[in-house]
Structure 1
């Protein structure tokens, strides 16, 4: 008998509360496979924005902080940068009639509330909007997470189809036995998310997944609002086979792969179980 942690998710019918896949299926004729969704990263400047808007990717990811000097307003930058050539307001206005989805990664709490106000006009296009923050300490994480209750309070007025991307601070060191996501980590995250009405995706580090299958399987079982978004650090090393159990045992609509194209092409196609 298969252990409970290895339930065959491919044979379970899930209610798709996250409209990201429905949106891109409608516009691009895609299957309901989250691996088809492609990403532009660090769209934090005018030049990167212009490139992303005319490129083939579906989702544009950018970092939001408060400018380090006056005027204090949300800008597109990743610490340690404190300034940028484009504000969040200008960035959102530049979206115009494009069909791109948006993922905003918040690096400080003070940037969240003024950014939420600016997002109002974006929703008129029905485009997917994700808001991301690391809200709990995770395996090897050294950075301080944002306070989860304060972050969730700040984004609580966003429309119900907004995807809350809630992650853990993490670290990874080559040549060592890196720990995965622990039971305490996933249970604490589930307690935070249990009462939410928004769809939630959990960004999880690819190099830590082999040691975390039971924990993340349990987490996804707790609600059909939950998905995973697999990402990688630029220097992380992991074999594609580490993703085999996830690819084989989870419905394809429940795992996004925010990975380089070369790693997407190497995703395993066959499963451990039939």
Structure 2
């Protein structure tokens, strides 16, 4: 089932040793064929990739694997799935627009019986701290995905920004309260992707959110130019249940963090 907790899945398959979200390893932005192939050969448990519909008509409305500002790719979702199903990797599919969701769900449905592993479906559905990106309509996104897959795991986030020259606000009470309002009626597991550089100043709000349901978790991610410390990550680790927080972070902080926590 795609609603199975990923820790349970990878424990059952002897790929991790404890119910600790820090044990799960990630490969981020496995969009182009070269990155996808590298991800499939890697030790990562979960592969994250981005999906959009290209602006031009040459792909005939085929969803492709790309992250804005890119709008085209050497890899369609259909080609990507054909390779990924041969592996044992879990997947997280990140949608930047609503238009790509329905055609992508159709393609996913075609390979569902071959995907007996975690599948997370992600979109930023609310404006967040310093966020200027476009949000994906929450109701339409959730309704479209659940019409195909009622038990999929959702990854529902906020648009965010981080500015080196400014004081960066964290996730505010109205932001987490609105997210809880959207998610409390869902029956699926939900993970909230949160930006590493903004979590320390938002601990109270995010703790409150996670306590609202045992279906909830956090996935800590980072922008490549964000400035944050391993101490920030250790602060998260000290305050939150280890089974409720995943870390999709870049090097060198990822290595330093794993060393610091003994993984």
TM-based fold match above 0.5: yes
* 1:31-180 equivalences in 2 (<5 Å): 31-70=18-57, 71-124=60-113, 125-180=115-170
In the alignment, the residues of structure 1 paired with residue 76 and residue 17 of structure 2 have an alpha-carbon distance, to the nearest angstrom, of 33
Contact 1:135–1:166 (CA under 8 A) maintained in structure 2? yes
How much has 1:42 moved relative to structure 2? 1.2
8 Å contact from structure 1 (residues 18, 225) kept in 2: no
SS at the partner of 2:125?
strand
Q: Residue 19 of structure 1 contacts residue 161 of structure 1 at CA under 8 Å; is this kept in 2?
A: no
1:206 to 196, 215, 220: 196
1:25 corresponds to which of 11, 15, 31: 11
**CA distance in structure 1 between the partners assigned to 2:51 and 2:243 by the alignment:** 28
Shift of 1:249: 2.7
Structure 1 stretch displaced more, 207-216 or 150-159: 150-159
Q: Which runs of 4+ in 1 moved over 6 A?
A: none
In the TM superposition, 1:188-227 aligns within 5 A as 188-227=178-217
In structure 1, the residue matched to 2:171 is 181
Aligned residue for 2:254? Answer: 264
By how many angstroms is 1:67 displaced?
Answer: 2.1
Question: How many Å separate the matches in 1 of 2:163 and 2:156?
Answer: 23
Whole-Å Cα distance in 2 between the matches of residues 121 and 22 of structure 1?
25
Write the distance in 1 (CA, Å) between the matches of 2:10 and 2:55. Answer: 36
- Write out per-residue CA displacement over residues 9-31 of structure 1, whole angstroms, 9 at most, x where no aligned residue: xxxxxxxx642111111221421
What is the CA RMSD across the aligned residues, in angstroms?
1.7
Q: TM-score, normalised by structure 1?
A: 0.88
Measured in 1, the distance between the counterparts of 2:132 and 2:206 equals 21
Aligned in 2, Cα 1:24/1:121: closer, same or farther, shift over 3 Å? farther
Distance 1:44 1:30 in 2: 29
Any unmatched runs of 5+ in structure 1?
1-16
- Retained in 1: the 8 A contact 2:126–2:157? yes
TM-score of the aligned structures, taking structure 2 as reference length = 0.91
